[in-house]
């Protein structure tokens, strides 16, 4: 199209944007066109928002679960074949490996915990005082519900204090300062044989919470020296627990650690819980693919709206062509109309998704109260609150895919509009 001076106007000029914006509104002969535009806009917005919410929650679950598992447990475990083998020198050698942040002796054993109120099967993790205090996800101020770790590992043979999780404390009906009797198989040898069980009552020094229902209901921390006596380990440790700077890049540390521990059996977190996280990764990728297809379907609604808009504006297109509008100008007008729906729908979806992720706990509590049910049961999902982590890269990918599908969806209807013959279009006007 040419301006008043006879020069050709540049593409995507003000006139094309103005006409495109007006075409998105209701018309005298086709009020339904604007309704379809609204439906297309709403479909894209909701699809983008849902995709952002689902991906954020799945990423939050993975990150939170990995943080808790690797915060409570070590990253590499060296099994000691000789129960009487001293470990201090071996730990010193392991600590010389670049990237190793901690190495500590550890005893793990299942026991039976009882009180006058209840009884539970639990797992004892026995550690030295200084090693346990170095794990902030257990001994941090925010994790301690009652009591303290001040007396943990203090006294003869490590003292008699233990630390238990909040859910286990409630199940046993005990709090800080109370007593818990631990029972294990394989008692001491006597002249009449080995006693089938060994039991001892310990004082609960601290009640901790790691925000994971499984750990909070099954884990008991015991001083290492006391565990060596209680489990008849005679000064031995079952394994050495090693922590590294970057657990996701464990292959950087494994060869150096293997060279130090030589032929001792060794395992790591990727072998123990890695397959579980691989399953989560596959599930997340499949979910992303499915939801991206839903976004594509929502974007295809733009085609319906533009086709009806072209049919409704046939006369207007003919007039524009007779006034000097080129096929390219007409095509750009309808391309802009469809693209506006996609762009505005994408932006709205991103905002809705971000707001939902930000206030997801408030929304969950409100819906639970409204429906009088627990929508996020910690016993089932492990966590006290819904974990959600919105990643910028994920949002950019979702927005980019949506805009791409929106732009693609506008091309064919816009091309059909540009191909209209103005003479044939005006014949019936």
Q: Where are the domains of the chain?
A: 14-66+277-427, 82-264
| pLDDT tens per residue, range 92-110 | 999 999 999 989 999 888 8
| pLDDT tens per residue, range 252-280 | 899 999 999 888 888 888 888 777 778 88
Cβ 352 vs Cβ 49: under 8 Å? yes
pLDDT of residue 136: 84
Cβ 231 vs Cβ 187: under 8 Å? no
SS (H, E, C) 97-138: CCCEEEEEEEEEEEEEEECCCCEEEEEEEEECHHHHHCCHHH
Cβ 291 vs Cβ 51: under 8 Å? yes
pLDDT of residue 320: 76
Q: How far apart are CA 223 and CA 197, in angstroms?
A: 20
The residue ranges of the chain whose pLDDT is under 70 are: 1-10, 12-14, 25-34, 82-85, 185-196, 233-237, 378-382, 421-429
Closest CA to 143 of 219, 75, 216, 64: 216
Q: What is the CA radius of gyration of the chain?
A: 33
Q: How far apart are CA 317 and CA 332, in angstroms?
A: 12
State if pTM tops 0.85. no
pLDDT of residue 171: 92
Contacts of 99 (CB under 8 A, 6+ apart): 244, 245, 246, 252, 253
CB-CB neighbours of 175 under 10 Å: 15
Cβ burial, residue 169 (10 Å; 0-12/13-18/19+) = buried
- Give the pairing type, strands 100-114 and 119-127: antiparallel
């Amino acid at each position: 199209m040419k301006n008043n001076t006879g020069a050709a106007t540049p593409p995507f000029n003000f006139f094309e944007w103005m006409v495109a914006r007006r075409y998105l509104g209701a018309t005298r002969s086709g009020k339904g066109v604007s309704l379809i535009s609204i439906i297309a806009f709403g479909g894209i917005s909701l699809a983008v928002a849902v995709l952002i919410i689902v991906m954020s929650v799945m990423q939050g679950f993975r990150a939170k679960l990995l943080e808790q598992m690797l915060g409570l447990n070590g990253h590499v475990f060296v099994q000691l074949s000789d129960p009487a083998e001293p470990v201090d020198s071996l730990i010193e050698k392991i600590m010389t490996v670049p990237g190793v942040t901690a190495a500590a002796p550890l005893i793990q054993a299942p026991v039976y915990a009882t009180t006058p109120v209840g009884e539970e099967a639990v797992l004892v993790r026995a550690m030295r005082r200084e090693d346990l205090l170095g794990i902030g996800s257990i001994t941090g101020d925010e994790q301690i519900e009652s009591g303290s770790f001040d007396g943990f590992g203090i006294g003869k043979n490590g003292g008699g204090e233990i630390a238990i999780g909040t859910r286990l404390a409630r199940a046993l009906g005990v709090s800080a300062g109370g007593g818990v009797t631990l029972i294990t198989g394989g008692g001491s040898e006597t002249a009449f044989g080995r006693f089938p069980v060994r039991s001892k009552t310990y004082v609960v020094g601290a009640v901790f919470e790691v925000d994971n229902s499984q750990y909070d209901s099954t884990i008991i921390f015991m001083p290492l020296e006391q565990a060596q006596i209680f489990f008849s380990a005679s000064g031995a440790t079952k394994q050495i627990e090693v922590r590294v700077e970057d657990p996701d890049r464990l292959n950087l540390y494994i060869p150096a650690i293997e060279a130090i521990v030589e032929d001792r059996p060794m395992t790591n977190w990727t072998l123990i819980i890695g397959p579980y996280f691989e399953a989560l990764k596959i599930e997340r990728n499949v979910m992303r693919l499915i939801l991206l297809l839903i976004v594509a379907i929502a974007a295809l609604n733009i085609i319906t709206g533009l086709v009806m808009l072209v049919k409704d504006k046939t006369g207007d297109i003919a007039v524009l062509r007779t006034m000097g509008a080129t096929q390219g100008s007409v095509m750009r007008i309808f391309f802009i109309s469809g693209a506006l729906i996609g762009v505005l729908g994408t932006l709205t979806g991103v905002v809705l998704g971000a707001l939902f992720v930000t206030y997801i706990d408030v929304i969950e509590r409100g819906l639970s109260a409204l429906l009088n049910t627990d929508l996020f049961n910690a016993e089932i999902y492990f966590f006290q609150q819904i974990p959600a982590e919105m990643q910028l890269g994920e949002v950019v990918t979702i927005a980019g895919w949506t805009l791409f599908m929106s732009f693609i969806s506008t091309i064919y209807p816009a091309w059909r509009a540009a191909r209209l013959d103005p003479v044939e279009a005006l014949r019936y006007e």
